[in-house]
Amino acid sequence: MIMKKTMAFLILTLAGFLPASAVTFATNRLQIIARCLHLSELDTLSAGTCDTYQYRNHALNIRVNSYGEVEHIGFRLFPNSIKKGASNPVYDFLERNLLERNLPNLGDSLRFYQAQEHVHFITGGAQDALKLDTMDIVGYNEERIDFHTYHVSWNRQGRTMLDMMFDMDYQLLSGCNAEELEYLFMKRLLRFKPHENLPQEYQFPKHTKTYVAAGDTFLIREMRNELFYEHDSTGWHLTDSTSAITKVLHNMMLSMEFRGNPTLTVSLDKYSDVKGVETLPYKHWLQMCLDEGCTPFFGVKDITNDTYKCTVLMTNPKGGYVHLLSVIIPYETVRNRGNGDVKGYLYVYIPMHNVSSNYFKP
């Protein structure tokens, strides 16, 4: 933990000495990489992906987000067609990390930080990434081992070009320390713009007025993600009647299709112990997590006369992390069919292999 804080300071210090530019970067690490590569005219790039830049005759993959920030720089190893909407942070990690390991002037602070990363080459090394291109995706293999480790390899004509293992650790995958991840999460959440959400399509029964869309459980049977529907004069919709409070709570916390719009007042538990409180539509948090590729689960921990203490867990198996939101939902909000306040306490990017049933005890 001390080392992570020290390296965070070193990286931020180095970033502070970078030349002023109209370019903005999503992370400190990307700013340092751009400096090492002497990339110019990044501020002229429009939102989307650009592959016109090269390093040692290998195409680079540079992506700019809708806010004009450079959010990715790496070797072009995967076709943009499979990365678009894939919500797989491993693709970006491999492209960025293998590029970094080929940069001779990365800087002592970031090189030291990189040396602490658990990345192991079984066959080949980082320099072999220069021999790969997007055509080699046909021979790319990826395996997740017990939510602890990734094992990936590239093979061409029966020969292993590159074989490596690395921790399923989102700080490693993102290139950010805990404090930067927390800052970036809240930054994205507060400026999140909701978008159209395609409704789930079910074959509703004809001779009953209720339907349960089956789901899964996570760790314990009380953490579930099924949805509950009912039929009335308006047609089929997610249950929001106080005659079925537990079902309403599930629907309100798990689905964008829920008709009510609760307001979330959330406090983020930060690595630096500096806590901020923000208020925003609950569905902004929900949709942003879904966009990340998370699967939500919900459980009721405790019930009093006027409140429900609950847990919302966003699991991301590809990123190897979970976001945990502990919420207190007033009965008044449920009585108003979800239109009211919800108070929450948020923990982000918890390593998935660290989550146990203890998280759900009252």
- 88-116 pLDDT, tens digit per residue, is 899 999 999 999 999 988 777 677 777 78
Question: What mean pLDDT is predicted for residues 200-225?
Answer: 91
Q: Residue 222: is its pLDDT beyond 60?
A: yes
Residue 8 confidence (pLDDT): 41
Quick: pLDDT tens for 43-89. Answer: 999 999 998 999 999 999 999 999 999 999 999 999 877 777 656 89
Instruction: Give the confidence band of 1 by pLDDT, cuts at 50, 70, 90.
Output: very low
pTM listed for this prediction: 0.87
What fold does the segment set 210-360 form as a domain? Answer: Nuclear Transport Factor 2; Chain: A, (3.10.450)
Q: Residue 21: is its pLDDT beyond 60?
A: no
Residue 13 confidence (pLDDT): 36
Q: Residue 251: is its pLDDT beyond 90?
A: yes
Per domain, the residue ranges of the chain are: 2-135, 210-360
Residue 274 confidence (pLDDT): 59
Q: To the nearest whole number, what is the mean pLDDT of the chain? A: 88
Question: What mean pLDDT is predicted for residues 196-215?
Answer: 88
CA dihedral of residues 231, 340, 304, 356 (deg, nearest 10): 80
Q: Residue 357: is its pLDDT beyond 90?
A: no
Q: Residue 6: is its pLDDT beyond 50?
A: no
Cβ 32 vs Cβ 107: under 8 Å: yes
Distance CA 207, CA 264 (A): 37
Residue 15 confidence (pLDDT): 39
Residue 206 confidence (pLDDT): 86
Cβ 90 vs Cβ 142: under 8 Å: yes
Planar angle of CA 90, 180, 292, nearest 5 degrees = 40
Question: What mean pLDDT is predicted for residues 302-316?
Answer: 94
Cβ 321 vs Cβ 185: under 8 Å: no
Residue 146 confidence (pLDDT): 86
Question: What mean pLDDT is predicted for residues 300-324?
Answer: 94
Residue 264 confidence (pLDDT): 97
Residue 116 confidence (pLDDT): 81
> In Å, how far are 32, 36, 96, 107, 108 from 16, measured between CA atoms?
10, 15, 21, 14, 15
Q: Residue 360: is its pLDDT beyond 50?
A: yes
Q: What percent of the chain has pLDDT over 90?
A: 70
Residue 10 confidence (pLDDT): 38
Question: What mean pLDDT is predicted for residues 186-192?
Answer: 94
Question: What mean pLDDT is predicted for residues 275-299?
Answer: 94
Residue 266 confidence (pLDDT): 94
Q: Residue 213: is its pLDDT beyond 80?
A: yes
The region of weakest confidence among 19-23, 51-55, 137-141 is 19-23
